[in-house]
Chains A and B, each alone.
Chain A
C-alpha cells in the first residue's frame, strides 16, 4: 500500500473511531435538519415558504464547517500536542503527503455527509434546482477557508485550547452564520459582522446554487478572501511541535 493511501486510511479510521466526531459531523446536522423542518419555530427569510428549503443548504454548510474546521482543527491540534506531527517529520512520509492525506480525509467525510444529508433533506420535502458549478465552487472555497482557519489554530495553540475554541466557534457560527437562523433576524451591528464571516457567505452561495435567490458578488468576495488569507496565514504561523 502506498504511503499516501495508508496515511489516508489511518486518518479516516481514527476519525470514524471517534464518537464525538461522528456526533458533530452527522448526528447534529441530521438532528437540526429533521427537528426544525418538522417543528416550525425558527423564523424564515422573506420569500421562503418551506423551512426545509432554507434549512437544507444551511445544514449542508454546517456539515462542511464541522468537518473542514472543527473536526480538522481538533484532530490536528491533538496530533501536534502528542508529538505525532513531530515524529512523522522524521519519516519518509513528508509534509506534502501528510497534507494530501488530511485533505483526502476531509473530502471523504464531506462526501459521506452529503450522501446522508441530501437523501434525508429530500425525504423531508426539499425540492432543489441545482446549479452544480456554483455549489461545487462554494464547497471547495469554503473547505479551503475553514481548513485554513483550523490549521491556523491547530498549529499555534495547545490541544485542549483548540478543542474548546473549535467547539465554541462552531456554536457561534451555527447561531450567527446564516445556517439555521436567517441573517436578517440579527441586530444590525451583529449582522454586519456576520456578513464578513465565511459561513454566511458560504450559505448564501449554497442557497443560490440550490435555487433559492441569487448570490451576491460580495459573498463570493468574502468567501474567496477567507480561502486565500486563512491558509496563507496558517502556512506562515504553523509550528509542528
Chain B
C-alpha cells in the first residue's frame, strides 16, 4: 500500500523513538517516563488497560501533546517543532471522530488525497475498505464500524511511512476487525511502521510484532510478543530517595541499575531472594528507606489480569451491568 522499501536496512534508526516521555494534565501525570521504540516494517502495539497513558503517548508522537519531560522522535523529527516536515509522512487514526459529519466517504478520501503529493487512488481505497456501496452516505449516517474503516482509509491515503492507530477496531464486528487486521499487516509488509494503541490483548496477539505494555503511565514490559508472554525478561523495580549511587549498587548486585525516574530505580536482574536481600542490605548501609519494591513480572501479570478482565464476561452476576462488574473485577485485581 506504500512505496516505502519493504525491508529496512538493519542499521536504520527506529521509525519512532520515545525516550523518558512525561505528559501531565495539571496535577495528573498521565505518562510517567515511557521509553520504547518502533521499527519500520513492524506492527508495534502499545497495550494497556484504559487510562494507562496509551492515547497520551500516541498523541505526543502525533504532535498533539507537548511533553512535560523526555523526547519523542518520529522519522528523526520532533512532532511539534518539525510539524510541517513530518505530517506528509504520517497517517493518523484518532480514537473517534475526525471527519466532517456531512461529508461522504468518497468526498472525504478525495479531499484528503488533495493534501498529499502521491496519494492512493480514492475510489480504489474506498473499495478496499469495503465502503464502495456507501459512497453517497454522509459520515454521520455511517455505522460505527464503517466510520472506523473510513478513518483507517484516511490515515493511509497519503502513503505514510508511519501510521498511528488509536483503538482501530473498537466497536467493529468480526468482518470489520478482520479487514482492519489485513490492512494493518499489509502496511507492515510494505515497510510502514505501524503504532497501534489497544486495550485488547487478543488484538495485540493477532497483529503485533512487538508489544509495549503500559500501566499507570509506565512501561511494564517491552519486547517481541512471544517473549513478553513467556516472560524471559525480568527485573526489579523499587523506589527510594533520589540520587542514590546506582553504579555502586549495580556493582554490588552484579546487574545494571538505573534511576529510571527520580527516586524510581530499575534493576536488570531476576527478583530472586538473594538479590533482594543484597538490595535491602545495601539500602540499609546507605541509610535509605525502601519505598515500594516490585518485581516486573508481578506487575505485568496484574496488567494482564485487568486486560483480560475487560474482555471476559462479567465476573459477578448481578443487576449492575457489565461495565460496573468489569470495574469491580478490575478493582479486585488491583488489590491482589
Interface of A toward B, CB cutoff 8 Å: 1-3, 5-7, 10, 13-14, 17-18, 78-79, 82-84, 86-87, 89-94, 241
Contacts and interface: CB of A to CB of B under 8 A. Distances in A.
Contacts, number: 67
Contact of B63 (A6, A82, A89, A94): A89
A160 to B, nearest CB: 13
Which residue of B84, B100, B103, B110 has the most chain A CB atoms within 10 A of its CB atom?
Answer: B100
B88 interface: yes
Which residue of B87, B96, B114 has the most chain A CB atoms within 10 A of its CB atom?
Answer: B114
A84 B37 CA distance: 29
B94 interface: yes
B97 A90 contact: no
B195 interface: no
B114 A17 contact: no
Given A3-B114, A92-B87, A92-B115, A84 B99 contact: yes
B116 interface: yes
A90 B115 contact: no
B94 A83 contact: yes
A87 B92 contact: yes
Contacts of B107: 10, 13
Nearest to B99: A84
B238 interface: no
B152 to A, nearest CB: 13
Contacts of B96: 83
B114 A82 contact: no
B98 interface: yes
Given A2-B114, A3-B114, A94 B101 contact: no
Interface residues of B, number: 26
13 contacts: A5-B114, A17-B102, A79-B100, A86-B64, A86-B94, A86-B98, A87-B154, A90-B62, A90-B90, A91-B158, A92-B116, A92-B158, A94-B84
B111 A10 contact: yes
B112 interface: yes
Given A83-B94, A90-B63, A241-B64, A3 B115 contact: yes
A6 B114 contact: yes
A-B residue pairs, 8 tightest by C-beta: A87-B98, A83-B97, A6-B114, A90-B92, A83-B98, A82-B97, A91-B115, A10-B111
Contacts of A6: 110-111, 114-115
B102 A14 contact: yes
Contacts of B110: 6
B100 A84 contact: yes
B225 to A, nearest CB: 28
Nearest to A4: B114
Which residue of B63, B84, B92, B112 has the most chain A CB atoms within 10 A of its CB atom?
Answer: B112
